């Protein structure tokens, strides 16, 4: 079990309550679930890394429990009751230095301190769809939901939000544009926040400016955008909608750079790799897909038998693949690779020669054709 | 006149010369110059006749080959190699990785606790509401009526321009388990929305080739009120399983074998063929069947999680023509 969990680089939570680990280099998927479990109320809603070293995964379920899974040991180490199902599902899970932050659909944001049962509570409004933590300033969280505009909270002063977004101006019919924040992302190295809405809009907010309305608003598709992720390279964002369309949007102009193809079902979880240009997507079609952001091609596709809710990418992937390359006799492999390449080039040359020969043959054929015609003309003349 | 004759004569002689040349070529052996193709002849009639000759030759060769093989096979007798199986699209189907393994625990658990579990655990009985798009025309109305005779506990209601999102809560409160909406276009039914009611998935199908009872040849008498048996053929993948269970949950659990009626949903190449028959066993080995009832073909367009909500619902599977239909041998159901 421990060996299996140590090689996994992608972690997924499914609707059946099973935590799945996938190793892309070895092309294997493993199920990690507690023996007694397997019931629908164990359905995984949110997942987060338990610590910066990515050795623990926190899994939040529908029945209000948050389980800690250790990737080194390969077992669930702790379970914690963090609310009850009447409050709604978990919409966000985050970890600060010594405490855990959970948010549920009814708007109750709780900070659970380690060791003590005290919780600091904040009410962020009803109908919350997402709560996300700022990775650079860990005490700041943003929440948003259906008819619940984006609010950024500082947990050290939890009375009032630091920033509340204002709705966009009335549309061309002078009607109020409905608000439905589905997913939130903090842009690194700046104060800006990107959100994607259920009304197929992507909005960028800048709390450092006095403007509370979105700085940029872009539209994509006709279906609700369900997931969002920011890649390592700045200036772009990847969004997915309920029809299985994944798109890369440019945040400077608000235009679509390109679409990632392959998904057949709604995108439930999307995550970009912290350093590599890769994005992992999972959804209702029961597949995990990893696309490359540079050429928008599908790198990996794994069938995992249940509908998937969330995905977590570990930054170890690069290290693992490089380790695999160097652990074997690196030099010998490289030399062999070169030889193979030379062989490939040799074979390539012979192919081109043959094609030239074929072209030459064709020329000859046409020449004979011409001759044939000449022969016919000669025959004619003879008859004449 | 002389000129004309001289033109025609050499042409004819040219043909003969060509014929002679070809004959000579065939006689002289393997190394003759590459022959011109039939398409280079400009005269349509002559080109056509040459093509027919070519086809005739090919057919003769094929028959000869067949005869030869048959002779060899006869001569060898028992030692003959096994007959070659011809390639069909079903044979060459690209293996789908979502094909369900019957012993898979995870899939079994998933199916045991999904939206249809209430039906399969015998907690609910099906009750179907059949309706159409607004202002249906004759064919669709008759189709709905015939469907209602085929599916037990089905009720047809006129759609008075009501919004489906408002119809659904009312159906739920009245204990319906399925909502079937037949969409009509140009006086012909062309779509089907099948919504499993408490909070179940909604499937949207394209309907084609609808044959009503009047148009069926050699049909039997009208179906009786007995509960038919259900046959689901060839739903192998995970998506196919979901759709198959959707169809199974339309009918009550225990079929009345007295009625000798059977409804078949046969999936082939992603098309689902619906047939309704009455069977009779003549003796232990022979069965006679009579087709009753309407017949139609369905093709799945999308499967949406949750009740009907085409704008804001989440789709479990959407048919994307350019991505999914690129290979002739890849099927999803």
Per-residue pLDDT reduced to its tens digit, B56-86: 999 999 999 999 988 988 888 777 778 889 9
> What is the predicted pLDDT for the residue at B82?
81
Domain ranges of chain A: 9-354, 355-384
Residue A325: pLDDT over 80: no
Of A90-104, A232-246, B28-42, minimum mean pLDDT range: B28-42
Which residues in chain B touch residue A305, judged by CB atoms under 8 angstroms apart?
104, 106-107, 110, 238
Which residues in chain B touch residue A285, judged by CB atoms under 8 angstroms apart?
316-317
Residues 1-30 in B contacting A (C-alpha not used; CB under 8 Å): 6, 9-10, 13-14, 17
Tell me the CB-side half-sphere exposure of residue B332, using CA atoms within 13 A.
Answer: 21
Q: Which pTM was predicted?
A: 0.80
Q: Would the CB atoms of A369 and B36 count as touching at under 8 Å?
A: yes
**Average pLDDT rounded to a whole number, residues A282-306:** 92
Q: In terms of pLDDT, which residue wins out, A140 or A324?
A: A140
Tens digits of residue pLDDT in A258-283: 999 999 999 999 999 988 999 999 99
Name the percent of chain B lying above pLDDT 90: 72
What are the tokens at B231?
């046959």
Other C-beta atoms within 10 Å of A54: how many? 17
Tens digits of residue pLDDT in A114-172: 877 778 888 888 899 999 999 888 889 999 999 999 999 998 888 889 999 999 999 99
Other C-beta atoms within 10 Å of A228: how many? 25
Residue A38: pLDDT over 50: yes
B118 and chain A: CB distance < 8 Å anywhere?
A: no
Give the closest residue to A305 by CA, choosing from B2, B238, B273: B238
Closest chain A residue to B32, measured at CA: A368
Residue of B107, B315, B324 lying closest to A242 (CB–CB): B315
> What is the predicted pLDDT for the residue at A298?
94
Residue A367: pLDDT over 50: no
Residue of B110, B314, B317 lying closest to A306 (CB–CB): B110
Phi, psi angles (nearest 5°) of residue B331: -125, 155
Which residues in chain A touch residue B320, judged by CB atoms under 8 angstroms apart?
244, 264
> What is the predicted pLDDT for the residue at A329?
42
Residue of B14, B97, B109 lying closest to A303 (CB–CB): B97
| Residue written as token pair 């709390």 | A207
Which residues in chain B touch residue A261, judged by CB atoms under 8 angstroms apart?
323
Other C-beta atoms within 10 Å of A166: how many? 12
Q: Would the CB atoms of B315 and A244 count as touching at under 8 Å?
A: yes
Closest chain B residue to A375, measured at CA: B14
Phi, psi angles (nearest 5°) of residue A224: -60, 135
Of A81-85, A298-302, B34-38, minimum mean pLDDT range: B34-38
Residue B36: pLDDT over 90: no
Residue of A38, A379, A384 lying closest to B17 (CB–CB): A379
Q: Would the CB atoms of B238 and A305 count as touching at under 8 Å?
A: yes
Å from B13 to nearest chain A CA?
9
Å from A308 to nearest chain B CA?
11
**Average pLDDT rounded to a whole number, residues B187-212:** 94
Q: Would the CB atoms of B34 and A18 count as touching at under 8 Å?
A: no
Closest chain B residue to A267, measured at CA: B314
Which residues in chain B touch residue A365, judged by CB atoms under 8 angstroms apart?
34
**Average pLDDT rounded to a whole number, residues A240-255:** 93
Q: Would the CB atoms of A379 and B10 count as touching at under 8 Å?
A: yes
Average pLDDT over chain A, rounded to whole?
83
Residue B140: pLDDT over 70: yes
Q: Would the CB atoms of A261 and B106 count as touching at under 8 Å?
A: no
Write b or e for each residue in B172-184: b if 16 or more Cβ atoms lie within 10 A of its Cβ, otherwise e: eeeebbbbbbbbb
Å from A176 to nearest chain B CA?
19
What's CA B86's distance to the chain center, in Å?
Answer: 20
Q: Would the CB atoms of A306 and B98 count as touching at under 8 Å?
A: no
Tell me the CB-side half-sphere exposure of residue B145, using CA atoms within 13 A.
Answer: 11
- What whole-number distance in Å separates Cα of residue A10 and Cα of residue B254? 46
Residue A376: pLDDT over 60: no
Q: Would the CB atoms of B315 and A368 count as touching at under 8 Å?
A: no
B94 and chain A: CB distance < 8 Å anywhere?
A: no
> What is the predicted pLDDT for the residue at A326?
44
| Residue written as token pair 């990418």 | A313
Interface test with B, best of A268, A285, A376 (most B CBs within 10 A): A285
> What is the predicted pLDDT for the residue at A378?
52
Residue A337: pLDDT over 60: no
Architecture of domain A9-354: 7 Propeller (2.130)
Q: Would the CB atoms of B314 and A266 count as touching at under 8 Å?
A: yes
Tens digits of residue pLDDT in B267-286: 999 999 999 999 999 998 99
Å from B137 to nearest chain A CA?
31
Average pLDDT over chain B, rounded to whole?
88
Which residues in chain A touch residue B311, judged by CB atoms under 8 angstroms apart?
223-224
- What whole-number distance in Å separates Cα of residue A83 and Cα of residue A103? 9
Q: Would the CB atoms of B314 and A284 count as touching at under 8 Å?
A: yes
Q: Return the CA Rg of chain A.
A: 28
pLDDT grade, residue A340 (50/70/90)?
low
- What whole-number distance in Å separates Cα of residue A308 and Cα of residue A227? 13
DSSP state of A180: B
Q: Would the CB atoms of A18 and B316 count as touching at under 8 Å?
A: no
> What is the predicted pLDDT for the residue at B159?
92
> What is the predicted pLDDT for the residue at A230?
94
Tens digits of residue pLDDT in B89-132: 999 999 999 999 999 888 998 998 889 999 999 889 999 999 99
With residue B8 as reference, give the H or E element that holds it. helix B2-28
Residue of B9, B17, B106 lying closest to A306 (CB–CB): B106
> Which of A80-94, A236-250, A320-334 has the highest mean predicted lDDT (pLDDT)?
A236-250
> What is the predicted pLDDT for the residue at A316?
74
pLDDT grade, residue A324 (50/70/90)?
very low
Interface of A with B (CB under 8 A): 15-16, 18, 31, 38-40, 198, 223-224, 226, 242-244, 261-262, 264-266, 268, 284-286, 303, 305-307, 365, 368-369, 372, 376, 379-380, 383-384
Residue A267 and residue A280 in contact, taking contact as beta carbons nearer than 8 Å = no
> What is the predicted pLDDT for the residue at B130?
96
Angle, helices A317-327/A330-383, rounded to nearest 10 degrees: 90
> What is the predicted pLDDT for the residue at A41?
83
Q: Would the CB atoms of B14 and A261 count as touching at under 8 Å?
A: no
Instruction: Establish, for the pair of chains A and B, how many residue pairs have beta carbons separated by less than 8 Å.
Output: 79
Which residues in chain B touch residue A226, judged by CB atoms under 8 angstroms apart?
314
> What is the predicted pLDDT for the residue at A334?
46
**Average pLDDT rounded to a whole number, residues B160-183:** 94
**Average pLDDT rounded to a whole number, residues A61-80:** 88
Closest chain A residue to B332, measured at CA: A264
> What is the predicted pLDDT for the residue at A99?
87
Closest chain B residue to A222, measured at CA: B311
> What is the predicted pLDDT for the residue at A370?
46
Please state the ipTM of this predicted complex: 0.78
pLDDT grade, residue A383 (50/70/90)?
low
């Amino acid at each position: 079990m421990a060996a299996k969990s140590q090689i996994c680089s992608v972690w997924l939570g499914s609707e059946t309550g099973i935590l799945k680990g996938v190793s892309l280099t070895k092309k294997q998927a493993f199920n990690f679930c507690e023996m007694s479990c397997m019931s629908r109320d164990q359905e995984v809603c949110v997942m987060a890394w338990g610590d910066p070293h990515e050795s623990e995964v926190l899994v939040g379920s529908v029945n209000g429990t948050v389980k800690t899974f250790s990737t080194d040991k390969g077992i669930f180490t702790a379970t914690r009751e963090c609310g009850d199902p009447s409050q709604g599902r978990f919409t966000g899970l985050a970890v600060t230095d010594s405490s855990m932050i959970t948010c549920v659909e009814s708007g109750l944001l709780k900070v659970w301190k380690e060791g003590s049962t005290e919780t600091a509570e904040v009410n962020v409004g009803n109908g919350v769809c997402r709560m996300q933590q700022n990775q650079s300033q860990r005490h700041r969280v943003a929440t948003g939901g259906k008819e619940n505009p984006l609010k950024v909270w500082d947990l050290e002063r939890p009375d009032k939000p630091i920033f509340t977004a204002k709705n966009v101006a009335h549309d061309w019919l002078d009607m109020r544009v409905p608000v439905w924040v589905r997913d939130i992302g903090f842009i690194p190295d700046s104060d800006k926040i990107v959100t994607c809405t259920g009304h197929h809009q992507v909005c960028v907010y800048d709390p450092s400016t006095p403007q509370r309305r979105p700085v940029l608003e872009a539209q994509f598709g006709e279906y609700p955008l369900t997931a969002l992720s920011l890649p390592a390279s700045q200036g772009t964002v990847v969004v997915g909608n309920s029809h299985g369309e994944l798109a890369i949007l440019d945040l400077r102009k608000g235009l679509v750079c390109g679409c990632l193809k392959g998904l057949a079902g709604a995108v439930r979880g999307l995550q970009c790799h912290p350093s590599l240009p890769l994005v992992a997507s999972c959804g209702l079609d029961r597949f995990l897909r990893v696309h490359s952001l540079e050429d928008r091609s599908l790198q990996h596709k794994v069938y995992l038998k249940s509908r998937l809710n969330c995905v977590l990418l570990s930054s170890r992937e690069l290290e693992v693949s490089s380790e695999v390359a160097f652990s074997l006799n690196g030099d010998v492999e490289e030399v062999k690779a070169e030889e193979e390449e030379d062989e490939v080039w040799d074979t390539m040359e012979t192919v081109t020669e043959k094609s030239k020969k074929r072209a030459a043959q064709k020329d000859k054929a046409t020449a004979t054709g011409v001759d044939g015609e000449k022969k016919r003309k000669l025959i004619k003349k003879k008859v004449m | 006149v002389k000129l004309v004759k001289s033109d025609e004569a050499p042409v004819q002689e040219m043909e003969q010369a060509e014929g002679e040349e070809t004959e000579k070529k065939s006689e002289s052996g393997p190394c003759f110059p590459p022959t011109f193709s039939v398409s280079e002849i400009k005269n349509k009639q002559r080109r056509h006749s040459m093509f027919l000759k070519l086809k005739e030759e090919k057919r003769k060769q094929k028959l000869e080959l067949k005869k030869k093989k048959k002779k060899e096979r006869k001569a060898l007798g028992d030692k003959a190699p096994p007959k070659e199986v011809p390639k069909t699209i079903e044979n060459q189907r690209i293996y789908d990785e979502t094909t369900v393994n019957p012993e898979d625990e995870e899939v079994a658990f998933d199916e045991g606790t999904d939206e249809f579990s209430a039906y399969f655990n015998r907690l609910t009985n099906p009750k179907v509401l059949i309706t159409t798009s607004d202002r249906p025309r004759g064919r669709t109305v008759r189709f709905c009526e015939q469907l209602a005779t085929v599916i037990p506990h089905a009720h047809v209601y006129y759609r008075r321009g009501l919004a489906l999102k408002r119809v659904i809560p009312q159906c739920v409160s009245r204990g319906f388990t399925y909502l079937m909406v037949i969409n009509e276009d140009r006086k012909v039914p062309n779509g089907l929305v099948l919504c499993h009611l408490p909070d179940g998935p909604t499937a949207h199908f394209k309907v084609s080739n609808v044959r009503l009872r009047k148009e069926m040849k050699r049909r039997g008498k009208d179906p009786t009120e007995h509960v038919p048996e259900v046959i689901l053929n060839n739903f192998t993948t995970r998506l196919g399983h979901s759709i198959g269970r959707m169809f199974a949950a339309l009918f009550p659990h225990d079929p009345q074998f007295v009625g000798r009626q059977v409804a078949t949903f046969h999936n082939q190449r992603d098309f689902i063929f619906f047939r309704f028959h009455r069977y009779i066993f003549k003796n232990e080995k022979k069965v006679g069947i009579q087709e009753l009832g309407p017949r139609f073909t369905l093709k799945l367009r999308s499967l949406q999680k949750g009740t009907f909500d085409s704008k804001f619902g989440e789709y479990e599977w959407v048919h994307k023509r350019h991505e999914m239909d690129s290979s002739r041998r890849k099927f999803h159901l």
